[in-house]
Amino acid sequence: MKRILIVATGGTIASTQDGHGLAPSVTGRELAEQVPLIAELCELDFVQPMNIDSTNMRPRDWLRLAALVDEAWDDYDGFVVLHGTDTMAYTAAALSYLVQGSEKPIVLTGSQQPMASPFTDAKLNLYQSVLYACDDGSRDVSVVFGGKAIAGTRAHKQRTMSFNAFTSTNYPSLAYIRNDRIVRAAGLGRLAPEAPRERPKFFGRLDGRVIVLKLTPGLAPGVLELLKRDYDALVVETFGIGGIPAYGGVWERAIFDWVGGGRTLVVTTQVPEEGLDLGVYEVGRPYANHPGILRGGDMTTEALVAKTMWVLGQTRDPDEVARLFYRPVNFDRSEG
């Protein structure tokens, strides 16, 4: 029987009402006791590195989770991280970069309703996450939620209340889970039966000085000057397929000044589906091949934030930054 480590971090799944709103208070072991069927799937151990609302999750917590998996790697066949939904996509992406090439599954899940709610989705999500973590075909970092398994770099929280909260952005779901049956999508994410389960590459550094800027009509580019003191990298969510306002060249000058000062700039789109192409319109072309500007392609904003933090945690050499950024990790991008 396989051994699975449940890593409980808090979130809605662990929350109770304390008179001031929902707050995490239930332990991972107590949550598992509410789903006794999972004890028939595998041997379970529990660890509780934190018990927080995922709104309070920070890059230092991602590093803590990766270090925990590293320390426990040899003792377990898989890991299930219980996590709040609000920043789950960021954590799943971050763990994809901090634990690369994991041939054991690292599954994140949570719920839209607390475990104690009479209408909770927590029980099925927890059961299916453990089921997926026990399956021989599972590997790497994924989100299992609402009957789907999603690559950790492709998850995006699309709905605030519905049980199908997460979508797989610009990439197929890895699998669908129907009660206790896993239906994989054309073998995506599957480990070949004869492949050895080698130790993944763990990383222990991130640069948390990364910020996202969403363009809005009329936004003044002087905001970039204000950000220089506190941030090393900027992820710009452009209009449409890659439009940045001209405004007489003021945005172009501000962006070129940002990268000319040695800072990193990543360009993506605020449109959720289908990705970026800076070469289509005149308002995007000046940035398409400019040195120091990285193109986000069809990656999610969550993955772009986490990957930029990871890349800058490893190097500041511009050529190496670009090489690491464009190297696909856990299905995070469809183009070079």
- Could you give the residue numbers annotated as active site? 12, 85
Question: In the chain, at which residue ranges do the beta strands (DSSP E only) sit?
Answer: 3-8, 15-17, 22-24, 43-47, 78-82, 99-100, 105-109, 140-145, 148-151, 155-157, 166-168, 175-178, 181-184, 201-202, 210-214, 233-238, 264-269, 293-295
Q: Write out the DSSP string of 109-142.
A: E--SS-TTSTT-SHHHHHHHHHHHHHSTT--EEE
* DSSP annotation of 244: -
140 backbone dihedrals φ, ψ, rounded to 5°? 60, -170
- Residue 170's nearest CA partner among 160, 158, 182, 161 is 158
- Residue 61's nearest CA partner among 35, 43, 84, 40 is 84
329 backbone dihedrals φ, ψ, rounded to 5°? -135, 125
The CA distance from 25 to 174, in Å, is 32
- Residue 90's nearest CA partner among 156, 140, 171 is 156
The CA distance from 8 to 48, in Å, is 5
Burial 229-242 (b: 16+ CB within 10 A, else e): eebbbbbbbbbebb
- Residue 332's nearest CA partner among 61, 141, 105, 151 is 151
Nearest-5° angle of CA 115, CA 164, CA 272?
Answer: 135
